[in-house]
A and B are shown apart, each in its own frame.
Chain A
């Protein structure tokens, strides 16, 4: 499978715990995005990487959230001191990055986080 992969697919944690999710983009895609989606809503942009550089972060993103893409390939999203409001589907997407900003994003299956 050469699509975007995400692990784990499901995560249940207790409030206050830290969690980390991983995203493996499509090979050779240099752009990587993280989104959060709650029930009945569209995906909400969290952050964007061009290779290893984090170029955009949502102003709504709490300081408890941090993302990395150390070698410009896979990325991790960490949430510290989780809260019940963090319960959501966390989606990763990648794009080839050729041309202008508006290239096609390919989404992974997501990681569903439940905070008890």
Chain B
């Protein structure tokens, strides 16, 4: 079945440093979604990418979808303590309603 892998599993950064998490799928995705889960919370939708090579920005967050629609990345510029949490990528396979999540990257920001 479809597998979604994320690296790194953990990332500790000093406040103000940049952060990037990478996501790779074993199969071509129809789209990719990114979620953020705060400690003790539930996943919250951040963004969806659909087109090959698509890049979207949300303030300090930049999301990219690979040309082959099998990989994606999330980059945070100048991290803040409010960025703490686990970032998950998730993808739908073609014609499926099953959203497959990666294991997530847990971000810690040291003030």
The segment out of A21-29, A62-70, A75-83, A107-115 that lies at the interface is A107-115
CB of A104 within 8 A of CB of B48, answer: yes
Quick one: which of B35-75 are within 8 Å of A by CB?
41-45, 48, 50
Asked if B19 lies at the interface with its beta carbon under 8 angstroms from chain A, I say no
Quick one: which of A37-68 are within 8 Å of B by CB?
40-45, 48, 50, 55-56, 58-59
CB of B104 within 8 A of CB of A42, answer: yes
CB of A91 within 8 A of CB of B43, answer: yes
Query: Which residues from chain A contact B43 at a C-beta distance below 8 Å?
Result: 43, 91, 107
Given A58-B98, A107-B44, A110-B42, answer yes or no on A102-B30 (Cβ-Cβ < 8 Å). yes
Q: State the interface size on chain B (CB cutoff 8 A).
A: 25
Q: How far is the CB of B86 from chain A (nearest CB, A)?
A: 8
CB of A91 within 8 A of CB of B42, answer: yes
Chain B, Cβ-Cβ closest to A106:
B45
Given A101-B30, A102-B30, A102-B31, answer yes or no on A45-B100 (Cβ-Cβ < 8 Å). yes
Which listed residue, A41, A48, A59, A91, touches B97 by the CB 8 Å rule?
A48
Asked if A7 lies at the interface with its beta carbon under 8 angstroms from chain B, I say no
Query: Which residues from chain A contact B102 at a C-beta distance below 8 Å?
Result: 42
Given A102-B30, A104-B45, A108-B42, answer yes or no on A55-B99 (Cβ-Cβ < 8 Å). no
Query: Which residues from chain B contact A41 at a C-beta distance below 8 Å?
Result: 103-104
Asked if A74 lies at the interface with its beta carbon under 8 angstroms from chain B, I say no
CB of A48 within 8 A of CB of B98, answer: yes
Query: Which residues from chain B contact A31 at a C-beta distance below 8 Å?
Result: 97
Quick one: which of A86-105 are within 8 Å of B by CB?
91, 100-102, 104-105
